[in-house]
Structure 1
């Protein structure tokens, strides 16, 4: 197990583009009132980070959570976030132009918006930025994968029985997901949901109600006209302004704060990590404003470092740390096993009634196995741009066991990039296309021309620090004591046919419980 001196760490940080001031301090020093040393530091406040922080706080561990994005306040009457129909710089994390399916590439003033889109080679990766991480921008589906494909993907010692009897229920007890109520399902903005159910039934499928983290009381207020329409207007990808989503900001995060042992610090971007000769971790943290101006860059230290920055950013930190010599003993598998969860989107039009808008909560789902090249979960989805047009949209998540890519370090640009993803999604795309063709041909009112999104994008990036390869079965990174990865990076590229958040949360609960029980 290797360690680096403080001087070596600072040199590595400088090599990563950080300014090193005279005397060896990173940027301006922290003020006397600002603490920079903690027992545990958690990087990121999404599912893995919020859960880790809460359980550490319960255990009495002095913990700091560093979140690069803003804390977003919701408002019942105002558009806090932008959307595909209400363009705003608040949509994106420091972009010069918009980049999203069916959104024109309009120029933007770079801003600390709610969604990062990283343009990798033949794949765009989307991930949340803000207190609550991905829970701000996901569409709240809370679904476990089928046992068959979970067991094909995960190590045998992480049993499905253990997950379904203990860890999924533990997450449910905090999140409290629920299915769409009948009155919401029967309302005009969910006409597309009812058409979807009717169409798949004619194709021989039986849909089931989907567990969701939407706040149905807020959705009902939208339907009643007492708050600004957000969820019923199709807003979701860039947040729901009125609080229609029960994000982590209303469950795990306030619970963590209530322990009295956890502090959250926003607008704090971790730029590099390393370890000193004393075995303690050192983080170069850039404090920034919403325009991207660096206010200072400060070194933080801790005994226990939890990387929960999401798949993209956890891999960026760890791969760079290994390749620059800041954490040279990280396993060679770090950065490998990346997948897009088999995501595909398909849609078609039909001759029939349509609602005035398409509400964003998904009502229904089912799993398709043995019919097409890849097994898949399908979920009734929405298209915010539909605006009264008769369109059916479906999110498809295939259980793709094979197509993977690798994060590597480019020494010329000193950045971590994903290897070429060309062709990796072909099997998923074909399976999704074959399925939607079957549904269309079973319905006489369907217009038999299916449409796939014109850009390759995943909002479910997974892998790179896979359980049982780069870490033990609980997220302890190989090569270093006190270093953990508890986020989407621990998933082997796919959860096996489901939205990932529920499984990430359950595995985070499982991992942090073992880490606390064994004092590391």
Structure 2
């Protein structure tokens, strides 16, 4: 196994029916009835306000603290500390209210759960909710695209050599990520991954072992029975109870909080942003009870605002602010150039032996020879086979897509809705071709199904160079910065976007701090 390439650098198809219902309908950021203006509430004055505590928000808090700038981080969800009882999260086999952000479709009470599902036109989007954001619920698979694929996604707006020299290595260091070790991969819980490696190589695909946000010593403890099974049981999408997952609340944000310059306010959902006469930004919130009841409407007055609520949260916030007239002069690029990273789920059957459950996703097969048809396939822990008696392989495919999705404001409901055409037959043809290669090289296997209906990689809505400057400044709005996945135009170079989101946030926030220092 040591000969596999280790590169720097999302659900299980058989469980998708569970995940699709976990957080559907209500609770999407800023959706629903109009929020009453807190006009009479005294504003808390802060130097820097960070909206969101996922990858980008944690990086923003970290860099601001290092520069001596105090910040308040607003997070709509709750904290999810790993407990000694290893019962922080529910499981996919026994979901409860903890799995879903404000669901109105599950037979459980509404709750500030860990996973939000948003039904858009053309695609269903899943995102994390809580301190740590989507790092709580993704597989933590970190990949760096090659230069040609990076340029296909970003064009000339970013210098790949600079990213590869400075920001990708810095992001990997902050995230404390490492590839799956040989001894763990050799364990019986990971037999499906080993079979996928053999099949991918037989098909002439390049096999990578990317860095993952996992403490492999904890996974070894799981294997030995010293802590409850979590990673080896294939859990990821609603959290890992063993503590194996190194989500950013436990790494980057924790380090920022230890400086004493960062204050995290949980269950604070931002409802509006306006610009005050003195150039500062007035940010209105709803402080939520665990069942979504609004307990209070805090208001902050900030010199600097860093929007890091992810592509869905940041885009909705800005589009709504423009539609309501709170920030009427936002650029035309706001709410545009959105994509799903060309996410596709595929299931193959006829695999040898019963499926194993070891995770999270840790092996990726790629074909990047033709940049126009580049594709990456991440292998996922096996679940129940849809065909009795046959082994199953689940893969998550990523390509490069046109960022032709857009958000629109509905004044009648005071909400924002995403529309995504999701009709690129070329992407499906590339996926079908590589699956055919896998099946041809491995007789007895066949493709059972593919779908483009779901994504856990929303990207775009406030794209670099079209809505924001090189330091993340929203065009025409000094000291209002976007630093998250909203900056990325629809795809991240045919790989998982988490590493690029973290690296780009680090680059953007560093430049933003230089901007602020020049103002002083």
TM-score, length-normalised on structure 2?
0.89
Match status 1:365 vs 2:380? no
For the residues of structure 2 that align with 1:371 and 1:505, how far apart are their CA atoms? 27
SS at match of 1:502: helix
* Change in 2 beyond 3 A, CA 1:273/1:172: same
Identify the residue that residue 399 of structure 1 maps to in structure 2. Answer: 400
Superposition map of 1:100-249 within 5 A = 106-249=106-249
Any gaps of 5 or more consecutive residues in structure 1? 1-12, 31-35, 98-105
For the residues of structure 1 that align with 2:429 and 2:257, how far apart are their CA atoms? 46
Identify the residue that residue 452 of structure 1 maps to in structure 2. Answer: 450
Q: Is the 8 A contact 1:372 1:434 kept in 2?
A: no
* Change in 2 beyond 3 A, CA 1:83/1:383: farther
For the residues of structure 2 that align with 1:384 and 1:321, how far apart are their CA atoms? 43
Q: In the comparison of the two structures, how many residue pairs are matched?
A: 485
Identify the residue that residue 75 of structure 1 maps to in structure 2. Answer: 83
Identify the residue that residue 379 of structure 2 maps to in structure 1. Answer: 380
Q: Is the 8 A contact 1:373 1:431 kept in 2?
A: no
* Change in 2 beyond 3 A, CA 1:266/1:426: farther
Q: Following TM superposition, by how much is the alpha carbon of 1:235 offset from its aligned partner in structure 2, in angstroms?
A: 0.4
Q: Is the 8 A contact 2:403 2:460 kept in 1?
A: no
Identify the residue that residue 291 of structure 1 maps to in structure 2. Answer: 291
SS at match of 1:81: coil
For the residues of structure 1 that align with 2:280 and 2:382, how far apart are their CA atoms? 48
Q: Is the 8 A contact 1:76 1:227 kept in 2?
A: no
SS at match of 1:475: coil
Q: Is the 8 A contact 1:343 1:428 kept in 2?
A: no
For the residues of structure 2 that align with 1:425 and 1:111, how far apart are their CA atoms? 36
For the residues of structure 2 that align with 1:331 and 1:289, how far apart are their CA atoms? 35
SS at match of 1:130: coil
* Change in 2 beyond 3 A, CA 1:389/1:62: farther
* Change in 2 beyond 3 A, CA 1:213/1:441: same
For the residues of structure 2 that align with 1:486 and 1:233, how far apart are their CA atoms? 34
Q: Is the 8 A contact 1:195 1:392 kept in 2?
A: no
* Change in 2 beyond 3 A, CA 1:87/1:277: same
Q: Is the 8 A contact 1:76 1:241 kept in 2?
A: no
For the residues of structure 1 that align with 2:156 and 2:450, how far apart are their CA atoms? 36
SS at match of 2:373: coil
Match status 1:503 vs 2:500? yes
Q: Is the 8 A contact 1:375 1:398 kept in 2?
A: yes
SS at match of 1:337: coil
- What whole-Å deviation, never above 9, does each CA across 1:86-106 have from its counterpart, x for those lacking one? 111111100122xxxxxxxx5
For the residues of structure 2 that align with 1:332 and 1:338, how far apart are their CA atoms? 14
* Change in 2 beyond 3 A, CA 1:125/1:157: closer
Q: Following TM superposition, by how much is the alpha carbon of 1:367 offset from its aligned partner in structure 2, in angstroms?
A: 2.5
Identify the residue that residue 461 of structure 2 maps to in structure 1. Answer: 464
SS at match of 1:207: strand
Q: Following TM superposition, by how much is the alpha carbon of 1:234 offset from its aligned partner in structure 2, in angstroms?
A: 0.7
- What whole-Å deviation, never above 9, does each CA across 1:28-52 have from its counterpart, x for those lacking one? x68xxxxx21010000001110000
Structure 1 stretches of 4+ with a deviation exceeding 6 A read none
* Change in 2 beyond 3 A, CA 1:268/1:385: farther
Q: Is the 8 A contact 1:76 1:243 kept in 2?
A: no
Q: Following TM superposition, by how much is the alpha carbon of 1:16 offset from its aligned partner in structure 2, in angstroms?
A: 6.9
Of 170-179 and 218-227, the range deviating more from structure 2: 170-179
TM-score, length-normalised on structure 1?
0.89
Superposition map of 1:316-395 within 5 A = 316-355=316-355, 357-369=356-368, 374-385=373-384, 390-395=391-396
Please report the RMSD computed on the Cα atoms of aligned residues, expressed in angstroms.
2.1
